Amino acid sequence: MRAPWELFPRRSSKICTVAVTLAKSLHRTLPAPSAKPSIAKPLILCVEDEPISLLLRKKVLERDGYNVIGVTTAQDAISTLREAPVCATIADHMLQGTTGIELARQMKTLKRDVPIILFSGTLPEHLDSVDVFIHKGEPTSEFLRIVRDVVNRYYM
């Protein structure tokens, strides 16, 4: 492959010299065409004990530009939160053996600054340690808008 300045004809005119000089300087400062910039996507931890619901939510979030770690137990959620650079957590309220509220309380003791979104069909009596509640009846577009707002508010 030829360098960009080799595409210009070799003439002695001032215009051609300026164009070649400009092309050479741009070639030095711009990345190679095959190099793609590495932009990290926000990482979301999704906690849902129903595997089909977890898979669907994960796919919706990935399609909207997020990296997603999906887990089905509170214990796996705590372990993942300890190890991964999670920027937000989305948890169901009714989990096997615990609730989303209790999970949020445990998570806040580990990483206080990570926002927790409770995604449930029923509004709990108290939202201790939960930053945002989203009802499962919300349209997908509204769900994604709220998630985007939470991620942007805390991490952008």
Tell me 4's DSSP state. G
DSSP 41: P
Strands 116-120 and 98-99: unpaired
Q: What is the pLDDT of residues 59-107, one digit of tens each?
A: 999 999 999 999 999 999 999 999 999 999 999 999 999 999 999 999 9
SS3 state of residue 55: helix
The structural domains of the chain, with segments of one domain joined by +, span 1-35, 43-155
Name the token pair of 52: 């089909």
Task: Supply 35's token pair.
Answer: 């190099």
Q: Residues 91-147: pLDDT tens digits?
A: 999 999 999 999 999 999 999 999 999 999 988 889 989 999 999 999 999 999 999
Residue 81's identity, in one-letter code, is: L
Q: What is the pTM of this model?
A: 0.73
pLDDT per residue as tens digits for the range 13-63 = 444 433 334 344 444 444 444 444 456 899 999 999 999 999 999 999 999
Domain 43-155 has CATH 3.40.50.620: no
